[in-house]
Structure 1
Amino acid sequence: MTDSRPVLIVTNLDDPTTDLVVEELYGRGVPVVRFDSGDFPATLSVAATVTSDGIEGTLTTPSRTADLARVRSLYYRRPSGFAFPHLDEQTARFAVTQARYGLGGVLAALPGCRYVNHPHRIGDAEFKPAGLAAAVEVGFQVPPTLVTSAPDAARAFVRRYGPVIYKPLSAPLYRIDGVSCTVQVAEITAHEIDEEVAGTAHLFQQRVEKVADIRVTVMGERVFCVRIDSDLLDWRTDYRGLTYSVIQPPDGIATTLFAYLDRFRLLFGAFDFAVDREGRWWFLECNPSGQWAWLEPETGLPMVAAMADLLERNPR
């Protein structure tokens, strides 16, 4: 008997990773309802009732209607934000808040739904200091790290632990001459730190003298481990110069990966490690909404199928 329970996918329109997953699910006959929560309420509507059995009702897009009580799983990717440009500033602020806690609250409380990942858990895991602290607790090696708004503390840290790199605590896009940009990881010296550090929080971390980077993508119980070779401080700055190879993680790493994800109640995580000359793996971060699909054509790893398995709730 065909299982008609849908998979909900929440993301923006321009998301090639989601396109691949949707195609795979369609090929398996799994119903999919894809939408961007940022389209609410223009082309997206919800009618949800709280009953003794939990949330019931419908979510309707221009082409699909989902029974909220029968959602198989929800893949929360990268939706755009709520926006009400036709309203004045104060009314728009009220409307955004109601949308976030109304539609967002419904999506966070679907009965029997598998979340990949739950939006609240994503929010928890996106705080870098919390992620680094959790990594230490579960047993990963983490470079000495400072979060500060004090210039003197930053200079003292650089002098003690140099070489030191600066990392943004989050990476919102901004534009220069109309071009989307982001703050890059960069090495920094004590004399480069000035009083502007006092303007907000900053993250400084001892630089690992690495020989390679490792991207580990965990999907449910599947672990995909890829070594990335380059001569770059931050390999994300130039994908053209990267070399990929599939490797097996050292003993104990997989157990620690799952322990980390359990701390945040996540089913998916994109982990980044730096490997030093002694072969030690240094935890850098785990992105609960990280990109992964570009690795499949580079390595042959069946990652799209693994994500579809997770969302389909297929035990294989």
Structure 2
Amino acid sequence: MVAEDLDPSADLVVHALNERNVPVMRFDLAAFPRHLDLAAEHGGRVSGWHGDLITSTRAVRLEEVRAVYYRRPGLPHISRAVDPAYREWAQGQALVGMVQVLSSLPVLWLHHPDIYRASAHKPGQLAAATAAGLRVPCTLVTNSLPRAREWAAGIGGPLIVKPVTAGAITLHDRSMMLPTRRIEASDLDESLELTAHMLQEWVPKRHEVRLTVVGTQMFPVAIHAGSDAATVDWRSDYDALSYELTVIPEEVADGVRRFMAGYRLNYGAFDFVVTPTGDWVFLECNPAGQWQFIAAATKLPIAEAHASLLQGAV
């Protein structure tokens, strides 16, 4: 398991595997190369990569690995003994050396790095979702103010603006994610021209759904917002949320399966709006999205589903 040390979702998967007596080795890429040793060989009489991965407490033979759970690890920490001019280079060597050796192992992956990179961005997801038969909002990605105003006039109603891709910013010495904001066409100004922006039509909501998919198992949960901020973006106000088990329409489930097959995903955290008329509208899919808060609120066996997939039981 490759994950940050403080990751409650990873903790739950480790616990579920331990309950099944499945051996687990967990580490963060941030521990490499200072506190983690890799010795991988290729060639000779043995095909594929073989060798050792050793932490201060555990060791594993690469050829004995059966599955890898790769979930938002940190970046390698390079010793200050390395000249600053070479530190970024050394970090890149460590990152590619470890990840590419692991990526080459013929094992089951949850969140394979290459698949994650290919599937993580919203513009591509919207095209993939449409091809899979899912309904998506009308969307414009632009840095042109005249074009944005023309498009907004065609929408003829409220809009939202959201980041094109996930990424934190630091404000007042605090790392934070930019939430989705509801705006009117009259709010569009010259700041739009400073970078790419994603604009979408505002989709009326009965509620939203977080659909967690692990392998072939689907866990749909309705999210009800109890504040104005949460109504626009439920991530803005977790304290105002309530959760309820729901049922996914079969045509939506089929579209989700096609979406995942197209990207070769075996995990996805999907966000949908359910309109007042009951239509499901795809917003995005996080291929390494958080699920611990959903499991805690609903008691759904999401950790156990992860464990079964990694164990090869499903």
What is the TM-score of this pair, normalised by structure 2? 0.93
> Which residue does the alignment assign to 1:27?
19
| In structure 1, distance between residues paired with 2:203 and 2:84 | 46
Measured after TM superposition, the shift of residue 197 of structure 1 is 1.9
CA deviation after TM superposition for structure 1 residue 89, in Å: 4.1
Aligned to 2:56: 62
Cα-to-partner distance string for 1:132-171 (whole Å, 9 max, x where unaligned): 1100111000001111121222222222223110011223
Deviates more, 1:122-131 or 1:150-159: 150-159
Q: 1:39 aligns with which of 31, 40, 50?
A: 31
1:204–1:98 Cα change, 3 Å: same
Residue 257 of structure 1 corresponds to: 256
Correspondences of 1:200-239 after superposition (within 5 Å): 200-231=195-226, 232-239=231-238
Mapped partners of 1:131, 1:207: distance in 2? 18
Q: Secondary structure at the match of 2:141?
A: strand
Structure 2 match to 1:269? 268
Which of 104, 111, 121 pairs up with 2:115? 121
Q: Report the Cα offset of residue 29 of structure 1.
A: 0.7
Could you tell me which residue of structure 2 aligns to residue 141 of structure 1? 135
1:313 aligns with 2:312: yes
Cα distance in structure 2, aligned partners of 1:157 and 1:13: 45
Contact 2:67 2:310 in 1 (8 A): yes
Q: Greater shift after overlay, 92-101 or 282-291?
A: 92-101
Question: What is the aligned-residue RMSD (CA, Å)?
Answer: 1.5
- Displacement of 1:223 after TM fit? 0.6
| Superposed displacement of residue 88, structure 1 | 3.8
The 10-residue stretch of structure 1 (116-125 or 244-253) with the greater mean CA deviation from structure 2: 244-253
Q: Kindly provide the amino acid, as one letter, of the partner of residue 8 in structure 2.
A: P
Counting only pairs closer than 5 Å after superposition, residues 89-108 of structure 1 correspond to structure 2 as 89-108=84-103
Q: Give secondary structure in 1 for the equivalent of 2:250.
A: coil
Per-residue CA deviations over 1:261-281 (Å, capped at 9, x if unaligned) read 111111000000001111100
Letter aligned with residue 32 of structure 2 = F
- Give the deviation of 1:198 after TM superposition: 2.0
Superposition deviation, residue 211 in structure 1 = 0.8
The percentage of counterpart residues that share the same residue type is 39
Alignment deviations for residues 80-103 of structure 1 (CA, whole Å, 9 cap, x no partner):
123436234431121122122211
- Gap regions ≥5 residues in structure 2: none
In structure 1, how many angstroms separate the alpha carbons of the residues matched to 2:83 and 2:123? 36
Answer yes or no: is the 8 Å Cα contact 2:34–2:78 preserved in 1: no
**CA deviation vs aligned residue, 1:39-85 (integer Å, no higher than 9, x gap):** 21011121111235211111111111121112111111111123436
**Matched residue type, 1:54:** G
| 2:303 is the counterpart of 1:304 | yes
1:179 aligns with 2:164: no
> TM-score when scaled to structure 1?
0.92
The runs of at least 4 consecutive aligned structure 1 residues that moved more than 6 Å come to none
- SS at structure 1 position matched to 2:243: strand
Residue by residue over 1:169-192, the C-alpha shift from the partner in whole angstroms, topping out at 9 and shown as x without a partner, is: 223223332333221100122332
- Compare 88-97 and 284-293 and name the one that shifted more: 88-97
Amino acid in structure 2 at the alignment position of 1:103: M
Aligned residues: 306
Supply the distance in 2 between the matched residues of 1:193 and 1:92 (Cα, whole angstroms): 42
**8 Å Cα contact 1:83-1:92 kept in structure 2:** no
Q: Which is further off, 267-276 or 247-256? A: 247-256
**CA positional deviation for 1:294:** 1.5
5+ residue gaps in structure 1? 1-8
SS at the partner of 1:82?
coil
How many angstroms apart in 2 are the aligned matches of 1:194 and 1:311?
49
CA distance in 2, matches of 1:146, 1:83: 39
Contact 2:30 2:75 in 1 (8 A): yes
Do 1:227 and 1:247's aligned partners in 2 also have CA atoms closer than 8 Å?
Answer: yes
Equivalent residues of 1:215, 1:225 under 8 A apart = yes
Deviates more, 1:242-251 or 1:140-149: 242-251
Q: Which amino acid aligns with 1:23?
A: H
Q: Equivalents in 1 of 2:195, 2:219: separation in Å?
A: 36
Instruction: State the alpha-carbon separation in 1 of the partners of residues 147 and 77 from structure 2.
Output: 39
Partners in 2 of 1:195 and 1:85 — Cα distance?
44
Q: Which amino acid aligns with 1:97?
A: G
